[in-house]
Structure 1
Amino acid sequence: MVSEFFAVIDFKEIFTASMILFAVIDIVGSIPIIVDLRRKVGHIQSEKASVVAGILMIVFMFVGESMLNLIGIDVNSFAVAGAFIIFFIALEMILGIQLYKDDQPETAAIIPIAFPLIAGAGTLTSVLSLRSEYYAINIIAAILINIVFVYAVLKNSGRIEKAIGKQGIDVVRKIFGVILLAIAVKLFATNIKELF
């Protein structure tokens, strides 16, 4: 049984899945958002946000498609909805406006960091796509690798802000806003065709 378990561990699959999730989660591109949140709420619960995001991804990998089917939503519709969310986040980053408003939260952990920033619609859709190609154990390993990196970025967001500076943060925010906008358009274009 143990030998069978290790037989399906494929480091190439783990590496590929890790890179895909790293690109979709884009925690480096989210640094300006994290810094903004930290300014607003004063404290980010890095451990809680990382653990919840990891659990969300792993659970969704196993039950996501069944959950969506149960409420009559297909993966493509879910991805299109995710594209809209990413689109509006990108607009906030590029134009420097605030579309998402919260009733002055005291801390930031589950919302909006764990969901939708880390384990958002794009990430969850990617996890479902990977599930059809790779063994579950390799995807779980890829998720855990990304969560460790996410935790490191969340924990050190203050130091990263000091290293880059306010102008640097603004430049990074606008650059990654454009990249995020392109991801939203691609996600929308790819999945909208499947709906018609």
Structure 2
Amino acid sequence: MNVQFSFREIITATMILFAVIDIIGSVPIIISLRKKVGHIQSEKATIVSTLIMILFLFLGDEILSLIGVDVNSFAVAGSFILFFLAIEMILGITIFKDEMTESSSIVPLAFPLIAGAGTMTTLISLRAEFAVENIIVAILINSVFVFFVLKTSQKVEDILGGVGLNVLRKVFGIILLAIAVKLFTSNINQLF
């Protein structure tokens, strides 16, 4: 097995996952969830979401081949999801509806808030362009950041304020929109 770590791939994959996971933009949701259920188990939510992402990174291809879909087709479909997620972030509208249930830190925090459909689609899409070991490092870097934000969500809200969170969300929305366009254009040619 030839392991090739690439600093550029790690940084790019980390930024893409950071934009998709959007843990900073989720701080208001985390705070409202904390108020509803009391205590959020940051460690548990981080570990479970990391395991979900890594498992899907390895099993995603098998799942796709089982249903007869290639990675490039999934990447193009994923680019549409990323496009709509970016539109949500930029315009402040809700296209995807998530069910919020009063349960533990696993649902809805680890899944689908952190390791949701957008993240899973992104992982498969990243697999079409980057080495797996670089994606795993990117997942781990994001998991550390997710843990930090979960632990300090109230302080993050106090520091950034509503306007700061909104600006940050829109900036990452624009980055995500550009990534969606690049993902679409680089994979659509492979289908024809």
Give me the whole-angstrom Cα distance separating, in 1, the residues matched to 2:137 and 2:166: 33
Relative to structure 1, is the Cα distance of residues 171 and 39 closer, same or farther in structure 2, using a 3 angstrom cutoff? Answer: same
Counterpart of 2:130 in structure 1 is 130
In the superposition, relative to structure 1, how do residues 103 and 61 fare at CA in structure 2: closer, same or farther (>3 Å)?
A: closer
Q: Counterpart of 1:105 in structure 2: which amino acid? A: T
| Counterpart for residue 35 of structure 1 | 27
Name 1:48's counterpart in structure 2: 44
Q: Determine the structure 2 residue equivalent to 1:66.
A: 62
Find the aligned partners of 1:65 and 1:28 in 2 and give their Cα distance. 20
> Given the two structures, how large is their TM-score scaled by the length of structure 2?
0.77
Aligned AA for 2:111?
Answer: I
The answer to whether the aligner puts 1:120 opposite 2:112 as a matched pair is no
What code does the residue aligned with 2:130 have? L
In structure 1, the gaps of 5 or more residues are none
Residue of structure 2 in register with 1:90 after alignment = 86
Q: 3-state SS of the aligned residue for 2:115? A: helix
Report how far residue 29 of structure 1 moved: 7.9
**SS of the counterpart of 2:109?**
coil
Counterpart pick for 1:172 among 168, 171, 191 = 168
Name 1:78's counterpart in structure 2: 74
Superposed CA offset, 1:2-37 (max 9, x none) = xxx9xx777xx1644432331111159824531232
How many Å separate the matches in 2 of 1:148 and 1:35?
16
Query: What's the CA shift for 1:180?
Result: 1.3
Alignment identity in percent? 45
State the alpha-carbon separation in 1 of the partners of residues 20 and 67 from structure 2.
Answer: 34
Q: Distance in 2 between matches of 1:102 and 1:139?
A: 26
Aligned residue number for residue 109 of structure 2:
108
Q: Does the CA contact (< 8 Å) of 2:57 and 2:123 recur in 1?
A: no
Q: TM-score scaled to structure 1, two decimals?
A: 0.76
The 3-state SS of whatever aligns with 1:97 is coil
Q: Verify the 8 A CA contact 1:22 1:146 in the aligned structure 2.
A: yes
Q: 1:92 touches 1:99 (CA, 8 Å); kept in 2?
A: yes
Q: Is the 8 A contact 1:21 1:142 kept in 2?
A: yes
Kept in 2, the 8 Å contact 1:21–1:123? The answer is no
Using a 3 Å threshold, how does the CA distance of structure 1 residues 128 and 56 change in structure 2: closer, same or farther?
farther
Size of the aligned set, in residue pairs, is 183
User: Which consecutive residues of structure 2, in runs of 5 or more, have no partner in the other structure?
Assistant: 103-107
User: Is contact 1:77-1:195 (8 Å) kept?
Assistant: yes
Whether contact under 8 Å (2:25, 2:168) holds in the other structure is: no
Distance 1:90 1:28 in 2: 8
Change (3 A) 1:123 1:140: closer
Q: Deviations over 1:75-99 (max 9, x none)?
A: 0111122112211111111111112
The answer to whether structure 1 residue 161 and structure 2 residue 128 are counterparts is: no
Aligned equivalents of 1:31 and 1:130: distance in 2? 23
* Amino acid in structure 2 at the alignment position of 1:80: V
In structure 1, distance between residues paired with 2:151 and 2:127 = 25
